[in-house]
Amino acid sequence: MEARAREVISNNILPEKSILISVMMTSFFTTFIGSSTNLALPLIGKEFAGSALVLSWIVTGYILASAVFLLPMGRIADIAGRRKIFLLGTAGFTLFTFLCAVSWSNTSLILFRILQGITASMIYATGMAIISSTYPARQRGKAMGLAVTATYTGLSFGPVLGGFICQHLGWRGIFYFTAFIGFVSVLFIMMRVRDQGISAREEKFDLVGSILYMFGIAALLYGMSSMYGTPWAKYILIAGVILMTGFILFESKVPFPLINLRLFSHNIVFAFSNLAAMINYSATFAIGFLLSLYLQIIRGYSPQTAGLVLLTQPAVMALFSSFAGSLSDRIEPRLVASSGMGLSALGLFLFTLLGTDTPIWMVTLNLALIGLGFALFSSPNTNAIMGSVSERFYGIAASTVSTMRMIGMAMSMTIVTLLIALFVGDVTLRQMDHVLFLTSFRIAFAVFGILCAGGILASLARGNVRSS
């Protein structure tokens, strides 16, 4: 054991437990702030007199920034060192979380949330890659499972603890609390995490491809979300399509691309599993945003009570995710994941029936159904993705999964933002017509249900992992 410890220190590699703890801490607070911010939106709207459309950008800005920067940050980490990017991301996230707490307007809060999203992409791009490069194959699944548990714990604590903080300390309290955890994480990483070496020191960073990708994704998502309120949004959308087409063509010709496109063109399991992941997050992420407004604005519940209701989905996800992952080791992942998407689709369609007097126990039960569906989908789908590539592509696979997740989240909020703009308009929460909001609410869940049903086809089309 002592010889092993000396070897670890001499090679500048952190003992495995410390690495896992650092990744678990960042996994917790990045998801906690996301789920708790949804609950804080009505309070933020009251203080800054923000409309539902403006409030949606507090969520969308963060997700969009994360999606835009995730792939480039992952590539920079491979070239410059994952520990360096991981530490910078954690420190930056902590700083901008604190600045969110002292925001003085909707504009300043959205700006700091965008900067927070950029630094979050540095964490997302390196966390799982650090675990993958540290743990041997026989222990990697367990370590990743604990990191995922921390993620779902953050999602679970967000509605409960976030709701409690909002109700008793105000919405700024959730940002102060998260910034404190971030500060502790920064100190822990500085003292305990050492450089792991650089896996792609001799390779060059694809600057042109990164620029094409970042502007292309940003233009696509912004163009779609602003289609109603911005006259030139359609031109931005077209520009996004052109840029992404150029990105794909350029990546196929450079020696060190931002992303290896052969993984999509020559690996059906990898391609369709990532497509299924993007569709699943597109269909389910905005649930928290919509139900937070529904429970607090339409039904008049306090943030704490709304948080207890919203807790149901992530709690069920945390409870069954480990079981679903183990199940996919015995049964083809596509079958388990597809059945999960089926349950989620059913739950989404049921939400189209919600009204002003729907019993809360029905809302809670439906959230549990969607949570079970998500649990059955998420772990087996990730299992299929990681099992479809060789070990040398683990880092690329992990970054791609995170990118699909962030793009899916951005797409989900884009759909909601567009529908709110179409039906409710740019009005404050007090001026919002409840009937029109419920109409946009039901249509959003109908769209999400159709998306999720289509995702079942993508999930089934991937084929069997074990025979691929």
Looking at every residue in the chain, the average pLDDT score rounds to: 81
Inform me whether the pLDDT recorded for 17 exceeds 50. yes
CB atoms closer than 10 angstroms to residue 273: 32
Residue with tokens 């029905």: 362
User: Distance (Å, rounded) from C-alpha 330 to C-alpha 182?
Assistant: 38
pTM of the model: 0.76
Instruction: Read off the DSSP letter of residue 421.
Output: H
Residue with tokens 């996230």: 93
Sequence-distant (6+) residues with CB within 8 A of 206 are 75, 251, 254, 256, 257, 258
Name the nearest CA neighbour of 186 among 412, 62, 362, 29: 29
CA dihedral 82, 85, 90, 91 (to 10 degrees): 140
Write out pLDDT tens, residues 304-329: 788 788 888 888 887 887 777 777 77
The CA angle 288-292-295, to the nearest 5 degrees, is 135
User: Distance (Å, rounded) from C-alpha 144 to C-alpha 155?
Assistant: 17
Distances (CA, A) of 319 to 196, 314, 396, 435: 33, 8, 28, 36
Query: Any idea which of 12-26, 60-74, 166-180, 276-290 has the lowest mean pLDDT?
Result: 12-26
Give the bridge partners for 51, in sequence order. 428
Handedness of CA 284, 308, 127, 204 (dihedral sign): positive
Inform me whether the pLDDT recorded for 7 exceeds 50. no
Write out pLDDT tens, residues 76-122: 887 877 788 889 999 999 999 999 999 998 899 999 999 999 999 89
By the 10 Å C-beta count (0-12 exposed, 13-18 middle, 19+ buried), 36 is classed as buried
